[in-house]
Chain A
């Protein structure tokens, strides 16, 4: 995982950005498929949610098999940082480019899906489902968004982690399926999926047939605006970074990859000191400062 992280961090800007746009589009397609599947499914609450999660897995399957750069999966790069193979600046470069690329990919998918008028299927009930999902997301409190974001990305990063042990395409698909179904069915929050769901709701709130099919009044849609989108992304992204970067990457690094030459009595202190050193250090591996040269 560390070597994968190092490779990802050293990708050129345009390659990274293009792959990130693809990942945003893939997740958007998974979200669109999920919206369609849960509309009038005729199943009970739990099974309907599981079905939505199952088909949403399309997004991460495309990311993992076809190859793309997803912000939430790339939170695992933290492992290469804590091992000292990357600087925090290099991690941040990857995250900033990938996050923006994912946003672009998701928004393009939103526009294309909107133009298809697919939301008018089933007497506008597909649009109504999308609108209800978006309204529920923008009405979350900060703590709810944060907690759901943490749990979501812990599962997404575990899915990516499991994928690394898969050799064939089938292995990888099976590895992705259950963690992703679990997070969607549980109602956890994925920042990149929300870049599809909420903008789609923003467009659909302007369609009277969809609003009527959803049974929403104007007051229900009060928080469905750009501020609501920003608030949701802020809390959910924070949670995603903590869930993937700290709860999976740092925890697995602590278990398997931290330096083993230390004595048992000073293990904890050394590990904490190493993390603090990395955090505070300005040392850049492979890029020494050029002070003193004319």
Chain B
């Protein structure tokens, strides 16, 4: 009986602690990946915008030197 109690207690503690820790870790990893993805996408967006601004600022001079397909 005592042995069963100790096994049940060990199992309960193991499950509770593991669920708490790993749920937190998985939630954190998810948030980390989302933050990294957001940073990467905002970097790409900024880079694209800067390129667009550079081209429009340079105007016909750049367009004359480096003609871009579709323009």
| Contact of A146 (CB < 8 Å), options: B17, B27, B45 | B17
Give the interface residue-count category, chain B: 20 to 34
- How far does the alpha carbon of A231 sit from the alpha carbon of B32 in the complex, in Å? 25
Which chain A residue shows the least CB distance to B33? A89
Check if A89 sits within 8 Å of B35, measured CB to CB. Answer: yes
| Known A287-B35, A289-B38; contact A88-B28, beta-carbon cutoff 8 A | yes
Task: Give Cα A147 to B17, complex, Å.
Answer: 10
- Known interface pairs A241-B25, A279-B24, A289-B38; A89-B32 also in contact (CB < 8 Å): yes
How many Å from the CB of B43 to the closest CB on chain A? 11
A91 at the interface (CB under 8 A from B): yes
- Chain B neighbourhood of A5, CB < 8 A: none
A89 to B20, Cβ gap below 8 A? no
CB nearest neighbor in A for B22: A238
**A78 → B minimal CB distance (Å):** 9
Residue numbers in A under 8 Å from B34 (CB-CB): 89, 282
Known: A143-B13, A146-B14, A147-B13. A242 touches B21 (CB 8 A): yes
Q: Please give, as numbers and ranges, the residues of chain B lying within 8 Å of A245 by CB-CB distance.
A: 21
B31 touches A143 (CB 8 A): no
- Residue from B10, B13, B25, B38 in contact with A92 in the complex, judged by beta carbons closer than 8 Å: B25
B11 CB–A CB distance under 8 Å: yes
Report whether A89 and B13 are in contact in the complex, using a CB–CB cutoff of 8 Å.
Answer: no
B3 to chain A, nearest CB (A): 13
B18 at interface, CB cutoff 8 A:
yes
Main secondary structure of the interface of B (DSSP, over half): helix
- Chain A positions within 8 Å of B21 at CB level: 238, 241-242, 245-246
Query: Scoring B residues 8 to 52 as 1 if CB is less than 8 Å from chain A, else 0, what string do you get?
Result: 001101100110111011011101111100100010010000000
CA distance A92 to B45 in the complex (A): 26
- Residue A150 at the chain B interface, CB threshold 8 Å: yes
Q: Give bound CA distance, A88 to B35, whole Å.
A: 10
User: What is the bound-complex CA distance between A242 and B17, given in angstroms?
Assistant: 7
Interface residues of A (CB under 8 A from B): 87-93, 95-96, 142-143, 146-147, 150, 238-239, 241-242, 245-246, 279, 282, 284, 287, 289-290
With contacts A92-B32, A246-B20, A290-B42 known, what are 15 further pairs, Cβ within 8 A?
Answer: A87-B31, A89-B32, A89-B33, A89-B35, A91-B28, A92-B31, A93-B32, A143-B10, A150-B17, A238-B18, A239-B17, A241-B24, A242-B17, A279-B24, A284-B35
27 contacts between A and B (CB under 8 A): A87-B31, A88-B24, A88-B27, A88-B28, A89-B28, A89-B31, A89-B32, A92-B29, A96-B29, A142-B14, A143-B11, A143-B13, A146-B13, A146-B17, A146-B18, A147-B10, A150-B17, A238-B21, A238-B22, A241-B21, A242-B21, A279-B24, A282-B34, A284-B35, A287-B35, A290-B42, A290-B45
